[in-house]
Copies of this chain bind each other. A is one copy, B any other.
């Protein structure tokens, strides 16, 4: 098959690095440019020695030159911080290039909500409507025709996929969902801070941002669209002493009792054709190791008849399914390739 040129803007973070890993194994995409202000001039292997003697190890890291990227690439991945993408995207959109933005800049449809939760002015409001939210199982057809995809956040991916069938079927008794999520530390990024030093995270476990986490409005927006009514979430993130993985537990009451068997069947109705969504068999529960390095979203539904609490538990890899792998799947769709091209990896267990 003819190769297609792509670029990565911003490879000094973990999502950039994960894109490098995945694109190394991709049969069609050819990585033409990678950029990083701080590391420009180095070869990739000098920054990431584990990529020495691999496909892109000798590729030179560049400063950002939008014209080159526009001229020579079919698609670009923006792996830059929130606030930076909104400057870059307008300069690229007038060309033929397709854009996948891994930041949060184009996920929220409302400029006000963005500004409220991110504390930044949004300078490209007109594009908020144009961008497509890149959650494959839900927006697949729109993604195929999009020129700007807002790649979903990691936590939102784990939550929305878990609640989708319940909301579609309007089964929630209550419009507020309690979510207890636990994430590996790659989610906190690669910028040096005391709080993410090894000795501060290792052998520990703790909640954080219990009052205000930026993924909350993204989750609420998407859940409300699915439910066709306003859904609120009490979103409670925790930091796990591992590098990858998000496990989210959603505790809900249904508006009518539903047996575990029926609920299981309902989830299969929505997901049995989805290669990456594994509705686990009864009495099997998700574990993070089972999805590590993969695109899988493992889901269990558990009905506790003693308390009438229904529990939805999902597990994903935050860097692969929750960021860069999902970005490549979106890229595949946008370029009319097989959705799972280059994304066939199994988890490494143990």
Contact = CB atoms under 8 A, between A and B. Distances in A.
Interface of A: 14, 17, 21, 24-25, 45, 48-54, 176, 178, 180, 182, 185-186, 190, 192-194, 196-208, 210-211, 232-234, 236, 238, 240-245, 247, 249, 251, 275, 278, 280-281, 284-293, 302, 304, 306-309, 311, 313, 315, 344-350
Contacts of A350: 14, 17, 186, 199-200, 202-203, 243-244
Nearest to A291: B50
Contact of A307 (B21, B176, B185): B176
B243 A203 contact: yes
A182 B198 contact: no
The 7 A-B residue pairs whose C-beta atoms are closest, nearest first, are: A50-B290, A192-B192, A206-B287, A199-B350, A198-B201, A234-B309, A204-B289
Contacts of A275: 53
Given A199-B186, A309-B176, A280 B49 contact: yes
Contacts of A308: 176
Contacts of A238: 182, 247
Given A311-B210, A346-B25, A349-B21, A281 B234 contact: no
Contact of A197 (B198, B251, B313): B198
Contacts of A21: 346-349
A245 B210 contact: no
B198 A232 contact: no
B304 A211 contact: yes
Contact of A203 (B51, B210, B234, B242): B242
A303 to B, nearest CB: 9
A53 B202 contact: no
Nearest to A175: B307
Contacts of A281: 45, 52
Most chain B CB neighbours (cut-off 10 Å) among A287, A291, A349: A349
19 contacts: A25-B346, A48-B349, A50-B287, A50-B289, A50-B349, A53-B275, A54-B346, A176-B307, A176-B309, A178-B178, A178-B251, A190-B194, A190-B199, A204-B242, A205-B240, A206-B288, A207-B285, A210-B313, A293-B348
